[in-house]
Structure 1
Amino acid sequence: MTNETKIPRSDIIVALVVVFGAMAPLLSSTMINIAINELVRSFHTNVTTVQWTVTGYLLATGVAVPFSSWLLDRFDGKQVFIAGEILFGLGSIFAAISPTISLLIISRLVQGFAGGLIMPLLTNLIIRSTSPDVMGQMMAIVGLPMIIGPLLGPVIGGVIIRFVSWQWIFWINVPIVAISTWLILWQMPKYPALNKTAKMDFVGILLLILSSSSLIYAIVKVAHSGNFANKISLMYTAAGFVLLTFYLIWAWFKKEHAVLPLTLFHFQSFNGSWVGLFIAGTVLNGAMLLLPLYFQNVRNLSVIMAALALLPQGVGMLVSRSLTGRLTDSIGAKYVVLGSVLITFVGTIPFYWFDTNTSYWWIVIVLFIRGIGAGGILMPLMVDAYTGMDQSQVPAATIGTRIIQNIGSAFGSAFITTVVTSYSKAQFKTFEHQLRDGHFHVAPANMQHFVTAHLVNIRLEAFQTGFLVISLAAVVIILPTLLLTNKMKQKD
């Protein structure tokens, strides 16, 4: 057995600086999940509207990704990083002082765009300075904020909401951004511009933005109407696919100059990676949105207790993080992702049967198992996307995987919200009709208790249905996993 290649100290320092720089965007994206109920009450609106603070953030992140790559071509990577941090800080300030939900959503779009400039740097700068022999280990370090975010974000958010106010979820980003900017200036080397004559494919970007936004908006409108076949959703779905077709035609003419060249889809591992990343948006982000609401609305926990209830999942993700990196370097992404999605399924499907009387200790065990699996999905998929590519193709592949990951995350959040909301609305209407038609024979004195108990049960079943969909999505990831790298076969 060969000794594990050691990572140079200078590379570790750069990786840690990059990791800290990503902490504010990722903490912000996870803290807001625990604050959804508070935002609904504060702005006197509904979950579907507030959910746009999550979906809009993710969409804006996807929009910014190609701009991040273009800026790295035209300017020093260190300067791009600092610009992204400052913009995120400004977005946080505007979010904190937002007087209406509309302005909060706009501020979240600014935050998301800044996050979209920052997050690709995690891979781009590491790939430019790291040996392929330790790429899995380095990506495990770079993936640290993706673990710490779900681990600490809800807890910090819960404490803030309980003792201060939701505005401080955004104010807390300001000192983090200031420290991060100082660390970048102090410890990060310069990354010279790669190609100062690089041109941006604005038409391609616009088509991708409009296509993905149309499809996600169609899903969200389903939640509003409670009907998957409503006219607006069908219209926006059709528009999304038409725009996607236009992009494919445009990319075919633009060849390698397209923002997402079609030649990338000739690589088997890239295809397995992007499909897996898209579906993972439902498995990971859908659950991140659903779990805090489950603990608050079904288990009736306080915001702090709901945040603490999520800790076992974060601990599980932390446990699997370093092992995932080493295994990916050793045996390839195929079996790492395969094992991870199966473990995630085992750690999610029990929620389909959990009710209000289920022991919390069972929930702790299941969430810990889910965390172990969830922690091993994203990183191998992202690493394997570059397998077999030339260095010149890496920036475009980074754009592709980041765009698809963010679109998948936005779609997953919107889709799970839609499933739960639509189920609730449909069941409520059925119950309302049955009640009006005298379907139930209940004594008048017991009617109020009967109605309350029935509505509580509908809410429970809606969440159970959401967890079932997330579990099935984890199983579906097995299909693109078959296209990923198998280094054990290469060794044979």
Structure 2
Amino acid sequence: MAKSKKNEKEKLPKELTRNAWILVIGAIAPMLDSTMVNIAINKLQSDLHTSLDMIQWAITGYVLALAVAVPVCGYVVNHIDGKKVMQWSLLSFGLFSFLSGIAWNIDSFIIFRAVQGFSAGFITLLMTTLLMQITPPDKLGQLMAVVSTPIILGPIIGPVLGGAIVSGANWHWIFYVNIPVVIIAVLLNHFYLSSFKPFNPKAKLDWFGTLLLAGGSVGLIYGMMKGSTNAKNFFNSQMITFVIIGLALFVIYGIYNRIRKNNTVLPLRFFKSKNFTAANIGIFLAGIASNGPMLLLPLFFQNTKGFTAVEAGLMLIPQGLGMMVTRPLIGKMIDRMGARPVVLVSLAISLLGTIPFIFVHENTNLIWLGLVLFVRGMGIGGLQMPMMTDIFIGLDKQDIPGASVGQRIIQNVGSSFGSAVISAVVTAVVTSEIAGQMTTKLHQLAAMHTNLTPTVIARAKTSVEKAVTLNGYQLGFLVSSIVLIVIAIPAMFLSQKKVNK
């Protein structure tokens, strides 16, 4: 009987569970969309008769618009019922998904994708922000376990689904497939989602602060993108310029926040909280440790194992399964023990699933790799969720939008930074080693009295490029492992609860 009461106490209230899953369903389409489009780049380039650089602008525009939406959404939910904001965001996302699908040239495609990204930024932020308003403090962990579902599914299912759609139909359907999901989400939202009172109706529109945060985010993210796309010269003039602009805007925001005495869209007084600061530092580093390898793993399977994009996506499924297995357990563990022990254990498991990739080679057994990825998924799945939960500890309800804005900005910048740094590491290794190893290989062939025909030289070049690229991937995984170890430092400042036996 006592055990039954305990289980009943640990369960999420039905209304909260219903609201959580309705919001999650709405967020699935944006999460999948952002990963599916990458699979269709070649088709888009061909059908829209444009260059790869212009297609990249459509992808970049989506990410930047998503970043701009974060502080704007923080203001809107202070003044308008969150249910209405979510409905309009979903309808906007669905409409511009359709328009992206029927885009007639690259210019229209870039514009429609940018507005689609802006809508997605609202949806993903609302998913967390609205639920924080109605969730008891002792249920935050379980709630985050539900909310993290689309975050987990997006990178795993997106590439596989995108590849299947492009192969079986055409790139237009990558966008059309969002429409039925949006319709279902809007209907559920309208009939079953609870209303959410505005967080702080008296708050005035902080246009200047919003523009500074949006501009700072765009500057840093775009700078990181310019570094990763030209990783041979990572610290190129464009990268440095935009990063400096981004940092300068954040510094100006700090001064502005001080003048306004924290009466801003993101009050910096939040950083006086040990939990808030430690959690955000951890989230930033976790973005590097998780997003960097998510960039490397598909490339490893394609360039080293010779897999197609869809096959590479399928190989990542074990990692997603690992995340899904631990997700419900982690939520309950956070509520019972606090974030610190959960993050520290997750770090140890993540290292067990990442370190083996430092030593992988082209003949490494696929079953072994699948098992390692499953372990890695179990660990990575328990990193960001506890830290996201810790951010909201001790905050008043009117502070939740501002805290969500800060968390999302740091998460977005950390993810972009992770991808950029890992890209730069791999490219630096390839650039520095390929000439020397190619010379050594040709000397070896000459010493064996091999006739250096163009065919022999081409084969030698392919062999060397494969070996050098593998070295780059291995170093990238080493960097990720080091970052995982560093996360233990801010993790020590997260919350910890006494476990009642």
The normalised TM-score by structure 1 is: 0.90
Q: How many residues align?
A: 489
Give the secondary-structure state (helix, strand or coil) at the position aligned to 1:221: helix
Moved more, 152-161 or 261-270: 152-161
- Is structure 2 residue 465 aligned with structure 1 residue 459? no
Verify: 1:294 aligned to 2:296, yes or no.
no
Query: In 2 relative to 1, CA 122–107 (structure 1 residues): closer, same or farther, beyond 3 Å?
Result: same
1:338 and 1:93, CA in 2 relative to 1: closer, same or farther beyond 3 A? same
Q: Partner amino acid for 2:452?
A: P
Aligned twin of 1:71: 76
Note if contact 1:24-1:177 (Cα within 8 Å) is conserved in structure 2.
Answer: yes
Alignment RMSD: 2.8
Cα separation, 1, equivalents of 2:300 and 2:73: 36
Structure 2 contact 64–222 (Cα < 8 Å) conserved: no
Are 2:490 and 1:480 aligned? yes
1:96 alignment partner, one of 93, 98, 101:
101
Shifted more, 148-157 versus 117-126: the winner is 148-157
Closer, same or farther: CA 229–141 of 1 in aligned 2, 3 Å:
closer
Matches within 5 A, 1:30-69: 30-35=35-40, 55-69=60-74
Distance 2:270 2:306 in 1: 48
The letter for the 1-side match of 2:485 is V
Within the alignment, does 1:204 sit opposite 2:200 as a pair?
A: no
Query: Which residue pairs with 2:289 in the alignment?
Result: 283
CA change 1:30–1:374 in 2 (3 A) is farther
Question: Structure 1 residues 189, 214: CA separation in 2 closer, same or farther (over 3 Å shift)?
Answer: closer
Native 8 Å contact 1:30 1:288 kept in 2: no
Distance 2:282 2:221 in 1: 18
1:339 aligns to 2:326 (yes or no): no
The correspondence of residues 390-429 of structure 1 with structure 2, limited to 5 A, is 390-428=396-434
Measured after TM superposition, the shift of residue 78 of structure 1 is 1.1
**Separation in 2 of the partners of 1:102 and 1:463?**
35
Separation in 1, partners of 2:351, 2:412:
22
Segment of structure 1 superposing worse, 124-133 or 71-80: 124-133
Conserved? CA contact 1:255–1:262, under 8 Å: no
**255, 258, 262: which one aligns with 1:256:** 262
Q: Determine if contact 1:54/1:410 at 8 Å carries over to the other structure.
A: no
1:3 maps to 6
1:131 shift after superposition: 2.0
User: 2:480 is matched with which residue: 465, 470, 478?
Assistant: 470
Q: Retained in 2: the 8 A contact 1:154–1:310?
A: no
Among 165, 175, 182, the alignment partner of 1:177 is: 182
Structure 2 match to 1:443:
451
Is the CA contact (8 Å cut-off) linking 2:199 and 2:401 kept in structure 1?
Answer: no
The superposition leaves residues 249-307 of structure 1 with CA deviations (integer Å, 9 ceiling, x where unpaired) of 11111223222211101100000111111122222223333322322232211233222
Q: Contact (CA 8 Å) 1:58, 1:409: kept in 2 or not?
A: no
Asked whether the equivalents of residues 64 and 218 of structure 2 are also in contact (C-alpha less than 8 Å), the reply is yes
Q: Retained in 2: the 8 A contact 1:222–1:422? A: no
Per the alignment, in what secondary structure is the counterpart of residue 207 of structure 1? Answer: helix
Structure 2 CA distance for aligned equivalents of residues 86 and 51 of structure 1: 26
Say if 2:225 is the partner of 1:215: no
Cα 1:98–1:121 change in 2 (3 A) is same
- For residue 328 of structure 2, the aligned residue among 315, 319, 322 is 322
* CA-to-aligned-CA distance 1:419-472 (integer Å, 9 cap, x gap): 33444344446667x599989846313322211211222222232233222222
Structure 1: which 5+ runs fail to align?
none
Does 2:378 correspond to 1:378? no
1:235, distance to aligned residue in structure 2 (A) = 3.2
Distance 2:180 2:256 in 1: 43
**1:132 aligned to 137, 157, 177, which one?**
137
**How far did residue 72 of structure 1 move?**
1.4
Matched, 1:352 2:355: no
Matches within 5 A, 1:229-244: 229-244=235-250
Change (3 A) 1:35 1:378: farther
Please tell me the residue identity of whatever aligns with 1:159: A
Aligned positions of 1:296-311 closer than 5 A: 296-311=302-317
